[in-house]
A and B are shown apart, each in its own frame.
Chain A
């Protein structure tokens, strides 16, 4: 069966420090991978989307970047965190072939507080 792991679960970082959140998927190949952010009282905002190694689509201009060094690994990074980067970050994956009823699966999330 497929599983998705995301870490760390909780992170408190000072403004201006770097960030690295990691996500890995097991039990599937060539998945679509996603990073979402969920700010307090708001919906999920798609940050990055990847259909393959090294292929990253950025959805919103921001202080963050993403990389996909391996097929089932997705990393969210920042060189210098801002207060506004605080939030709940969710990694997700789905089967590549869309439009035919393939659901999306989420990790447990990472709470980031920038102080």
Chain B
């Protein structure tokens, strides 16, 4: 059974700093891995999707990497801003199964 873990559960950093969020998964047989952002009381917004054949994806100040062999992904946020404060979740889509398995998320707070 696929398990997705995100550590730490919460993170606070001063504005302007670069930061890395971590995601690990137990089964490397995946089609892709996605990173989502969730604001309090809201739905999830897809940030980046990395296909299994890719190593990384970039969008603006965000960069996500994928290392399938080690079962790890990171989300790098450059020059953090207070507006980046949210919960970030990763999810994997396994082979032969169209259902995502989500991590429990990292709640990020950017301190002005």
Contacts and interface: CB of A to CB of B under 8 A. Distances in A.
A44 B46 contact: no
A58 B98 CA distance: 14
A107 B38 CA distance: 11
> Which of A6, A41, A92, A106 is the most central at the interface, judged by chain B CB atoms within 10 Å of its CB?
A106
A108 B34 CA distance: 18
Contacts of A46: 99-100
Contacts, number: 57
Given A94-B98, A101-B49, A104-B34, A43 B89 contact: yes
Interface residues of B, number: 24
Contact of B99 (A59, A88, A100, A111): A59
A111 B100 contact: no
Contacts of B95: 99
A9 to B, nearest CB: 9
A81 interface: no
A103 B34 contact: yes
A90 interface: yes
Contact of A99 (B31, B89, B100, B103): B31
Interface residues of A, number: 27
Contacts of B89: 43-44
B25 interface: no
Interface in B79-112: 89, 91, 93, 95, 98-100, 102-105
A109 B102 contact: no
B41 interface: yes
Contacts of B102: 43-44
Interface of B: 4, 31-32, 34, 36, 41-46, 49, 51, 89, 91, 93, 95, 98-100, 102-105
Closest 10 CB pairs of A and B: A106-B43, A43-B104, A99-B31, A44-B102, A106-B44, A98-B98, A103-B46, A108-B43, A109-B43, A43-B102
